[in-house]
């Protein structure tokens, strides 16, 4: 299956870019609709300037196995964010602005370099606020031979208009559904309307690409994987997230990544209810409820941690993240990940998505890396 964007004509690329530029002139790229002129360098809620800023680009071996595969996901971590999650695992770039400017030609070259390094896909992490600058580089890279599927890895706080403009460009949507209630969304992520916006966006994404489809090697080629991070004390309203999913989706169609990797990072300690780690028993009960509802996908082992996937974005720029130990940020801000895995008794990716043997052929290192766990989501 060929990457969707390779079918776009030059005129279509220019039309999409122009549409995103119009949104940026009185910024409405994200649901906050700040109205600033991003093209003139004005900054809104996200803090992004009028140029592309990236922290890191490297092969990532800690995403879900259909994303990382055996050769890694070509992950691009953009600086700044339209959400301001108090517990953000990528706080160095989302809150503190770690990164540097990239021009169109340089970014296109880096995308091609990730392809040359053998990555299975291009994985854009938190990209929406930079779309007017990303599309020209992606277009240039495509003209120069980029053919990898495009994964759009986001916090799920997206406008339907933006999702529509990305049709035929994005192959795999990888959104979060962070909250099932607006009260914690407002308290922890400063997004008072998160739930309605997120649910509408996820429905739109799913209608666009449909259920997850894998190639013969078990690598995602098209579709959607939905991520949810369980917070201590059900503070993310995980039960309401699951209720919505059960009401809207056929469990046979939706692949879920139900995550236990919460750690009290960045400013989480300012909220007493978030100051501790997730109780493994609470997570296990949440997983049982998910599986009883008929959903399948990826679960985590809340009792296991692996510091080898802690990312210090000030030092890791292009070196592949393979799970080998590295020196991370100071201990008060380290990002430790829960262990994740795929097992038959805990919601294995269904055979219907890939043929029984496809995922089995993934190298053991892929599953082990996700087991050690470092999905590139924001929270």
The CATH number covering residue 84 comes to: 3.20.20.70
pLDDT for the residue 323: 65
Q: Which carries the bigger pLDDT value, residue 353 or residue 177?
A: 177
pLDDT for the residue 317: 79
Is 283 a domain residue?
A: yes
Q: Among 58-72, 81-95, 183-197, 341-355, where is mean pLDDT lowest?
A: 341-355
At residue 148, does pLDDT exceed 80?
yes
Q: What is the DSSP pairing of strand 296-306 with strand 213-214? A: unpaired
Is 204 a domain residue?
A: yes
Neighbours of 307 (CB within 10 A): 14
Is 53 a domain residue?
A: yes
Beta-bridge partners for 52:
102
Q: What is the mean pLDDT of residues 244-256?
A: 97
Maximum pairwise Cα distance, the chain: 54
pLDDT for the residue 347: 36
Residue range(s) defining the domain that contains residue 198:
4-372
Is 377 a domain residue?
A: no
pLDDT for the residue 310: 60
3-state class of 256 per DSSP?
strand
Q: What is the mean pLDDT of residues 99-113?
A: 98
Alpha helices (H) along the chain: 10-25, 65-68, 91-94, 104-116, 131-143, 160-165, 182-189, 194-209, 238-248, 280-292, 356-360, 364-372
Q: At residue 174, what are phi and psi to the nearest 5 degrees? A: -130, 70
CB–CB of 240/246 below 8 Å? no
Number of domains in the chain: 1
Is 323 a domain residue?
A: yes
pLDDT for the residue 304: 73
Is 214 a domain residue?
A: yes
Distance of alpha carbon 162 from alpha carbon 195, whole angstroms: 17
Query: How confident is residue 339, by pLDDT bands cut at 50, 70 and 90?
Result: very low
Is 379 a domain residue?
A: no
Distance of alpha carbon 170 from alpha carbon 123, whole angstroms: 10
Tokens describing residue 70 = 């055996």
Q: At residue 66, what are phi and psi to the nearest 5 degrees? A: -70, -15
pLDDT for the residue 32: 98
Beta-bridge partners for 174:
153
Q: Which carries the bigger pLDDT value, residue 327 or residue 255?
A: 255
Distance of alpha carbon 347 from alpha carbon 259, whole angstroms: 12
Distance of alpha carbon 315 from alpha carbon 326, whole angstroms: 10
pLDDT for the residue 307: 54
Provide the sign of the torsion angle of the four alpha carbons 140, 143, 144, 147, taken in this order: positive
Distance of alpha carbon 131 from alpha carbon 54, whole angstroms: 12
Q: At residue 276, what are phi and psi to the nearest 5 degrees? A: -110, 175
Dihedral angle over CA of 307, 63, 257, 149, nearest 10: 170
Neighbours of 51 (CB within 10 A): 13
Q: What is the DSSP pairing of strand 220-229 with strand 255-259? A: parallel
pLDDT for the residue 5: 98
At residue 192, does pLDDT exceed 80?
yes
Q: How far apart are the first and last CA of the chain?
A: 31
Burial class (CB in 10 A: 0-12, 13-18, 19+), 1: exposed
Q: What is the DSSP pairing of strand 337-341 with strand 150-154? A: unpaired
Is 378 a domain residue?
A: no
Distance of alpha carbon 173 from alpha carbon 197, whole angstroms: 16
At residue 338, does pLDDT exceed 90?
no
CA 196 vs CA 70, 225, 313: distances in Å: 37, 19, 32
**Tokens 């040359």, residue located:** 116
Tell me the pLDDT tens digit for each residue of 6-33. 999 999 999 999 999 999 999 999 999 9
Going by C-beta distance under 8 Å and a sequence separation of 6 or more, which residues neighbour residue 143? Answer: none
CB–CB of 340/261 below 8 Å? yes
């Amino acid at each position: 299956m060929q990457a969707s964007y390779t079918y776009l004509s030059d005129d279509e690329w220019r039309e999409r870019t122009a549409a995103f530029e119009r949104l940026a002139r009185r910024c409405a790229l994200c649901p906050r609709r700040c109205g600033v002129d991003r093209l003139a360098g004005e900054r809104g809620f996200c803090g992004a300037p009028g140029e592309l800023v990236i922290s890191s680009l490297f092969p990532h071996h800690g995403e879900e196995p259909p994303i990382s595969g055996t050769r890694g996901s070509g992950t691009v971590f953009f600086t700044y964010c339209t959400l301001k999650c108090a517990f953000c695992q990528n706080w160095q770039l989302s809150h503190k602005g770690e990164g540097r400017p990239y021009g169109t030609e340089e970014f296109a070259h880096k995308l091609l370099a990730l392809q040359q390094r053998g990555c299975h896909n291009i994985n854009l992490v938190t990209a929406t606020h930079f779309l007017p600058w990303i599309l020209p580089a992606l277009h240039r890279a495509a003209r120069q031979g980029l053919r990898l599927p495009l994964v759009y890895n986001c916090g799920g706080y997206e406008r339907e208009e933006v999702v529509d403009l990305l049709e035929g460009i994005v192959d795999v949507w990888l959104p979060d559904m962070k909250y099932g209630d607006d009260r914690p969304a407002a308290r922890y992520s400063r997004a008072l309307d998160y739930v309605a916006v997120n649910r509408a966006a996820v429905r739109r994404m799913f209608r666009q690409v449909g259920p997850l489809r894998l190639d013969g090697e078990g690598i995602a080629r098209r579709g959607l994987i939905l991520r949810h991070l369980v917070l201590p004390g059900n503070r993310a309203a995980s039960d309401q997230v699951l209720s919505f999913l059960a009401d809207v989706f056929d469990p046979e169609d939706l692949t879920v990544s139900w995550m236990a990797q919460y750690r009290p990072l960045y400013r989480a300690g300012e909220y007493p209810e978030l100051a501790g780690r997730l109780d493994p028993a609470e997570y296990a009960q949440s997983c049982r409820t998910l599986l009883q509802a008929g959903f399948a996908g990826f679960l985590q082992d809340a009792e296991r941690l692996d510091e080898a996937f802690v990312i210090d974005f000030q030092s890791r720029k292009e070196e592949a993240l393979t799970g080998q130990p590295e020196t991370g940020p100071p201990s008060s801000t380290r990002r430790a990940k829960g262990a994740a895995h795929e097992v038959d008794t805990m919601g294995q990716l269904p055979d219907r998505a890939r043929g029984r043997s496809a995922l089995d052929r993934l190298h053991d290192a892929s599953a082990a890396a996700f087991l050690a766990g470092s999905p590139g989501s924001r929270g």
